[in-house]
Amino acid sequence: MKPVLYMVIPCYNEEEVLPVTVPEFLGKLRALIESGKISEQSRLLFVNDGSSDSTWEIIKKLSEKQAYIEGISLSRNRGHQNALIAGLEEAQDKCDITISLDCDGQDDINAVDKMIDEYLSGSEIVYGVRSNRDNDSFLKKNTAKLFYRLMSFMGAELIYDHADFRLVSSKVLKSFSSFKEVNIFLRGMFPLVGFRSTCVYYERKKRIAGKSKYSPAKMTALALDGITSLSVKPIRIITLFGCLVALLSFVGILWSVIVQLTGNSVAGWASITSILCFLGGVQLISLGIIGEYIGKIYLETKGRPRYIIEEKTDSD
Report the alpha-carbon angle 18-20-17, nearest 5. 40
| CA-based nearest residue to 142, from 133, 154, 155, 151 | 133
Exposure letters 178-189 (e unless 16+ CB within 10 A, then b): eeeeeebbbbbb
Q: For residue 108, state whether it binds Mg ion (rule: CB under 5 A).
A: no
| Rounded Cα gap, residues 72 and 83, in angstroms | 10
Residue 72 or residue 227: which is nearer to ligand UDP going by CB?
72
Q: List the single partner that 112 binds among ligand UDP, Mg ion, none, CB under 5 to 8 Å by kind.
A: none
Stretch that binds Mg ion, among 106-114, 162-170, 252-260, 286-294 (CB under 5 A): 106-114
Residue 49 or residue 118: which is nearer to ligand UDP going by CB?
49
In what helix (H) or strand (E) does residue 246 lie, and over which residues does it extend? helix 233-261
**What DSSP letter does each residue of 184-242 carry, written as one string?**
--HHHHHHHH-SSEEEEEE-----SSS--S--HHHHHHHHHHHHHHH--HHHHHHHHHH
Q: For residue 73, state whether it binds ligand UDP (rule: CB under 6 A).
A: no
Exposure letters 77-94 (e unless 16+ CB within 10 A, then b): bbbbbbbbbbbbbbbbeb
Number of residues located near ligand UDP, criterion CB under 6 A:
16
Q: Residue 40 has what DSSP assignment?
A: T
| Rounded Cα gap, residues 270 and 272, in angstroms | 6
Residue of 46, 49, 170, 200 that binds ligand UDP (CB under 6 A): 49
Residue 14 or residue 96: which is nearer to ligand UDP going by CB?
14
Residue 106 or residue 123: which is nearer to Mg ion going by CB?
106
Q: List the single partner that 213 binds among ligand UDP, Mg ion, none, CB under 5 to 8 Å by kind.
A: ligand UDP
Scan residues 149-208 and list those touching ligand UDP (CB under 6 A).
Answer: none
* Interface characters, 8-47, with ligand UDP (x: CB under 6 A): --xxx-x---------------------------------
Scan residues 96-135 and list those touching ligand UDP (CB under 6 A).
Answer: 102-104, 106
Q: For residue 14, state whether it binds Mg ion (rule: CB under 5 A).
A: no
In what helix (H) or strand (E) does residue 99 lie, and over which residues does it extend? strand 97-100
149 to each of 81, 104, 223, 288, how far by Cα in Å?
21, 27, 12, 22
Residue 100 or residue 106: which is nearer to Mg ion going by CB?
106
Q: For residue 214, state whether it binds ligand UDP (rule: CB under 6 A).
A: yes
Q: For residue 106, state whether it binds Mg ion (rule: CB under 5 A).
A: yes
Residue 44 or residue 95: which is nearer to Mg ion going by CB?
44
Q: Residue 131 has what DSSP assignment?
A: S
Classified as helix, coil or strand, 294 is helix
Residue 77 or residue 183: which is nearer to ligand UDP going by CB?
77
Closest distance to ligand UDP from the beta carbon of 141 (Å)? 13
Closest distance to ligand UDP from the beta carbon of 16 (Å)? 11
Which residues of the chain form contacts with ligand UDP (CB under 6 A)?
10-12, 14, 49, 77, 79-80, 83, 102-104, 106, 212-214
